[in-house]
Amino acid sequence: MPRPYQAGERRLAARAAMRSKIIEAARALLADPRAGVFSIDAVAERADVARMTIYYQFESKAKLLEALFDDIAARSDMRRMRRVFEEPDLQRSLSILVDVFCHLWETERSVLRRLTTLAALDPDVDKALKERGKWRHQALSTLFERSPERKNLTDLINVLHAITSFETYATLREVQSRNKVYESVKRAADALVRSY
């Protein structure tokens, strides 16, 4: 007879495996240029599970998207953001932030491109992307709290938020190599900070 805690551990492991399978199916669906809509039904079909299994695991499409974004962040090692706030020099902190986000945009480009396109048509995707975008804005705000003597911080942060966005990265990446884009965004961010 299995001990109760072993049964509980197996159940938790099975649940985690099912969640991973569904998230992987959602990623594959988004990365597939031939795929149509991004819906619970489409993810269920891709994962080969019942639609209710997804609702049981995630409760809603919004929470599935949240889990997908967490997976994207983990894969691109967003834990490196900690270094942004540990670095005492503001210019170097900003350079690290640019590196972290350029790495995210590059490694997840196909999925993020599709999500950005879907956001125009799907309110759930649009809301999820905007929520995650606020995190970058908040990180920039926190970074510049170190410089209370600077003027027009709101304008500076808003423009930095725009130039460090996926949309800016993807546009530049169409015509430049990854390294050139990293350097272009860093130079632009550095020049912008020096001008304020």
Torsion of CA 126, 167, 31, 133, to 10 degrees: -40
pLDDT band at 146 (very low <50, low <70, confident <90, very high): confident
Across residues 25-31, what is the average pLDDT? 93
Which among 160, 133, 166 is positioned nearest to 147, based on CA atoms? 160
- Whole-angstrom Cα distance, residue 62 to residue 43? 13
pLDDT score at 10: 83
pLDDT score at 1: 52
- What Å distances lie between residue 75 and 69, 108, 129, CA to CA? 10, 9, 17
pLDDT band at 103 (very low <50, low <70, confident <90, very high): very high
pLDDT score at 11: 84
pLDDT band at 148 (very low <50, low <70, confident <90, very high): low
pTM score, whole prediction: 0.85
> Does 139 score more than 80 pLDDT?
yes
| Residue scoring higher pLDDT (170 or 196) | 170
Q: Using a pLDDT cut of 70, give the percent of the chain over it.
A: 94
What tokens does 125 get? 């995707």
pLDDT band at 52 (very low <50, low <70, confident <90, very high): very high
> Does 53 score more than 60 pLDDT?
yes
Lowest average pLDDT, out of 43-47, 95-99, 144-148, goes to: 144-148
What tokens does 50 get? 């019942």
Structural domains of the chain sorted by starting position, each given as residue range(s) with its CATH number in brackets: 4-68 (1.10.357.10), 76-195 (no CATH)
pLDDT band at 13 (very low <50, low <70, confident <90, very high): confident
Mean pLDDT over the full length of the chain: 91
> Does 157 score more than 70 pLDDT?
yes
pLDDT score at 147: 73
Lowest average pLDDT, out of 8-12, 103-107, 166-170, goes to: 8-12
> Does 48 score more than 70 pLDDT?
yes
Across residues 181-192, what is the average pLDDT? 95
